[in-house]
Amino acid sequence: TAGILIPDLCVLAHLERLEAQVNKSHKKSEELQSAQAEESALETKIHQLRHIRDKLRAEVKQRQARANASSANVEPDQTVEISEQDVLERKQENMKAILQAYHFTGLSGKVTSRGVCVCISTAFEGNLLDSYFVDLVIQKPLQIHHHSIPVFIPLEKIAAKYLQTDIQHFLFSLCEYLNAYSGRKYQADQLQSDFAALLTGPLQRNPLCNLLSFTYKVDLGDRSFPFCARLLYKDLTRTLPTDVTVTYQGMEALSTAWEKHRASHETLFCTVPLHRVFASFSREGEKLDLSLS
Amino acid sequence: MDEIVAEFIRRTILKIPMYEMMTILKAWNFLSENQLQTINFRQRKECLVQDLVLLCEEKCASLNDAALLDIIYTQVHRHQKVWDVFQMSKKPDEDIDLFDMEQFKCSFKKILQRALKNVTVSFRDAEENAVWIRIAWGTQCTKPNQYKPTYVLLYPQTPYAFTSSKLKSFMPLLGQALTVASKHHQIVKMDLRSRHLDSLKAIVFKQCNQTFEDHNSITPLQERCLELDVNVDSRIIHENTVEKERVQRVTQETFGDYPQPQLEFAQYKLVTKFKSDLNGGILAERKEPLRCLIKFSSPHLLEALKSLAPAGIADAPLSPLLTCIPNKGMNYFKIRDK
């Protein structure tokens, strides 16, 4: 990873760090492999359990049918019919499950009496976040009946541009804005909840989460280096900022080494999601302490 | 703590009903738990208030602390005031709105202080990134009147602000301060007014109907159909079932299945010429248009309108002048001849 924070004075220390990095990346790929193996094992288990469940269900139905048949003297053909019904029921359940699972594609919908109700499910880094709905009335002109899009997302603008001429573009554009908003909100929420200890003041944010301002410190032994960061997200379809300013808040002038750190922080905030930057800060905080002792 | 602040705090606390006293004081968070525990809350209200004011004095409450208490009281008793809605707009191709709350608060205060030397401006952040603003107005030579403040509930990065003000003369200045501080181009007062702030919000943010059809839920329509079939007794024949069902359908299409936002009135100012089916008559010959004001009042106007056709009092569909209220975000209309 980029962003070297420790000024190295010794070649050995540098080699040690390189070795540690290689070991870490080995560990990561091992972890990934084991996670994948676990996943496929669980999948197989799910299939097996489903198979057992279906068998048990069929058996229960058969026994019930036999009980009814013996009391009412019914023909044995009934048992064949019941298992057909069972197959159809299972198919219907399967279909319902697939329709429900469509949420995970990010864009799904249900036909209504007037048209269609579209559901946009947002996600960031594999985390499923909020869902938003747009209920459309199919008539000329196409109309939005009601929706749950937040007021600060420019829905009217996007609709004015694309709704009548290219509905696909309308939906994709809306998806873009909503996913980006969800992602920015997620990063800000994560920063507030998980890394409050590294902040020296409250996180300043706005509804769109497109302007974030916060103060944080980097501790080196008994010295504390306070910084102030201001992140502007001028492109509402992106989850990374377009403008970042990091300013040093201490009294004395910043040494060249620390000036490099400050600049590297600016680059970090521009290229890496906010909470990941702070995760790396908290890890490197430990490294910094170790290098001193 | 000067006398003005002491008296202001005393009068504000006196307004608070006893059953809300603890909640509001805790929300204010100016007097600590320990301090509140030293007070006897079972004594007569006047004595309780005196004790509380003494505590505030010991803690040197400032005018801003008192203003915050007033904001909290108003937040809890928002329905006691009538709220107007203002809509701000930007120029068509303006840059993205990078709203900075601290910058806004600073700018807003500066604009008012530059215009009127004496003014008290207080802020309280609210949920959903909104902010409550309280302004007590003074002039170049008189101190601010703390008993006739203006309250504003602003939703940043949206065009809307809700205001309640007894002093109307300061509204243009308020509008200018809001517009400039939030980097908008102009501000317009909407023809929408109500005591129910949450309903106004639902109307302008178009949040009235929040049920959506989804594969994960049964539609309410399906549930209702099941109910209707259960209560049928074959010996009873409803002669006008067809008409009843039509009325139900039309009402449901117009008003939806969700609870209506709460408004107290709708007002129609007519400047129209008299139209009559009968030939002649004095009114029909008038060249000047008639001016009249029609006002519909109700504790819950939209629910009342919704029940008119099903109750048989009016024909369905109702006049679009009545049913357009939530969609247009208006309950004040001026109707002229075309």
pLDDT at A290: 43
Strand, coil or helix: B23 = helix
Q: How many helices (H) and strands (E) does chain A have?
A: 6, 7
Residue B335 forms contact with A (CB below 8 Å): no
pLDDT at B92: 78
Nearest Cα residue to A236 out of A268, A215, A207, A265: A207
pTM score, whole prediction:
0.80
Alpha-carbon A186 to chain mean position:
8
Average pLDDT for residues B8-25, to the nearest whole number?
95
pLDDT at B228: 53
CA gap B112, B75 in Å, rounded: 23
Question: What is the secondary structure of A83-130 as a DSSP string?
Answer: HHHHHHHHHHHHHHHHHHHGGGGSEEEEE-SSEEEEEEEEEETTEEEE
* Confidence bin at B214 (pLDDT 50/70/90): confident
pLDDT at A3: 46
Weakest-pLDDT range from A76-85, B71-80, B252-261, B318-327? A76-85
| ipTM of the complex model | 0.85
A52 CA: distance to closest CA in chain B (Å): 26
pLDDT at B102: 94
pLDDT at B309: 92
Q: Which residue in B95, B129, B213, B260 has the most chain A C-beta atoms within 10 A of its own C-beta, making it the best mutation to test that interface?
A: B213
- Name the residue among B96, B207, B213 with its Cβ closest to that of A236: B96
Taking a C-beta distance cutoff of 8 angstroms, is the pair A104, A120 a contact?
no
pLDDT reading at B301 higher than 60: yes
Q: What tokens appear for A124 in the block? A: 């960031």
Q: What is the pLDDT of residues A152-173, one digit of tens each?
A: 998 989 999 999 999 999 999 9
A138 CA: distance to closest CA in chain B (Å): 15
Taking a C-beta distance cutoff of 8 angstroms, is the pair B159, A157 a contact?
no
pLDDT at B331: 93
Q: Which residue in A117, A192, A206, A242 has the most chain B C-beta atoms within 10 A of its own C-beta, making it the best mutation to test that interface?
A: A206
**Does the CA dihedral B231-B234-B235-B240 come out positive or negative?**
positive
Residue A197: what residue type? A
pLDDT at A1: 44
- Cβ–Cβ of A152/B157 closer than 8 Å? yes
* Confidence bin at B96 (pLDDT 50/70/90): confident
CA gap B59, B31 in Å, rounded: 8
pLDDT reading at B30 higher than 60: yes
CA gap B11, B91 in Å, rounded: 44
pLDDT reading at B225 higher than 60: no
pLDDT reading at B56 higher than 50: yes
Taking a C-beta distance cutoff of 8 angstroms, is the pair B208, B202 a contact?
yes
**Does the CA dihedral B199-B329-A149-B224 come out positive or negative?**
positive
Better pLDDT: B8 or A28: B8
B173 CA: distance to closest CA in chain A (Å): 25
B319 DSSP 8-state letter: P
Taking a C-beta distance cutoff of 8 angstroms, is the pair B302, B326 a contact?
yes
B-chain CB neighbours of A135 within 8 Å are 212-213
Above pLDDT 90, what percent of chain B? 70
Above pLDDT 70, what percent of chain B? 93
CB atoms within 10 A of CB B39: 17
CA gap B181, B101 in Å, rounded: 10
CA gap A249, A253 in Å, rounded: 10
Taking a C-beta distance cutoff of 8 angstroms, is the pair A142, A136 a contact?
yes
Q: What is the pLDDT of residues B114-169, one digit of tens each?
A: 999 999 999 999 988 899 999 999 988 999 999 999 999 999 999 999 999 988 99
Among chain A residues, the shortest Cα distance to B216 is held by A100
B96 CA: distance to closest CA in chain A (Å): 6
pLDDT at B81: 96
Taking a C-beta distance cutoff of 8 angstroms, is the pair A211, A231 a contact?
yes
- Cβ–Cβ of B100/A206 closer than 8 Å? yes
B-chain CB neighbours of A99 within 8 Å are 215
Going residue by residue through chain A, which has 293 residues, state the pLDDT in tens, using 9 for 90 and above.
444 555 556 788 888 889 999 998 988 888 898 889 889 989 998 998 899 899 999 999 988 888 887 766 655 555 556 688 889 999 999 998 888 888 888 899 999 988 999 999 999 999 999 999 999 999 989 999 999 999 899 898 999 999 999 999 999 999 999 999 999 999 999 999 999 988 999 999 999 999 999 999 887 777 888 899 999 999 999 999 999 999 998 888 878 888 888 899 999 999 999 999 999 888 776 554 444 33
pLDDT at A293: 34
Taking any CB pair shorter than 8 Å as contact, residues of chain A touching chain B are: 96, 99-100, 102-103, 108, 110, 112-113, 117, 119, 133, 135, 146-148, 151-152, 204-208, 210-211, 213, 232, 234, 236
Residue B212 forms contact with A (CB below 8 Å): yes
Q: Which residue in B162, B212, B258 has the most chain A C-beta atoms within 10 A of its own C-beta, making it the best mutation to test that interface?
A: B212
B-chain CB neighbours of A160 within 8 Å are none
Better pLDDT: B67 or A254: B67
Among chain B residues, the shortest Cα distance to A233 is held by B98
pLDDT reading at B234 higher than 70: yes
pLDDT at A82: 67
What residues of chain B, 76 to 105, have a C-beta less than 8 Å from chain A? 95-102
- Cβ–Cβ of B99/A234 closer than 8 Å? no
B216 CA: distance to closest CA in chain A (Å): 6
pLDDT at B236: 78
Across chain B, mean pLDDT equals 90
B208 CA: distance to closest CA in chain A (Å): 9
Better pLDDT: B37 or B281: B37
Better pLDDT: A28 or B75: B75
pLDDT reading at B38 higher than 60: yes
Q: How many helices (H) and strands (E) does chain B have?
A: 13, 9
Residue B222 forms contact with A (CB below 8 Å): no
Q: Rounded to 5 degrees, what are φ and ψ at A92?
A: -65, -45
B287 CA: distance to closest CA in chain A (Å): 40
- Name the residue among B96, B206, B221 with its Cβ closest to that of A146: B206
Strand, coil or helix: A201 = coil
B-chain CB neighbours of A214 within 8 Å are none
- Cβ–Cβ of A135/B210 closer than 8 Å? no
A-chain CB neighbours of B208 within 8 Å are 146
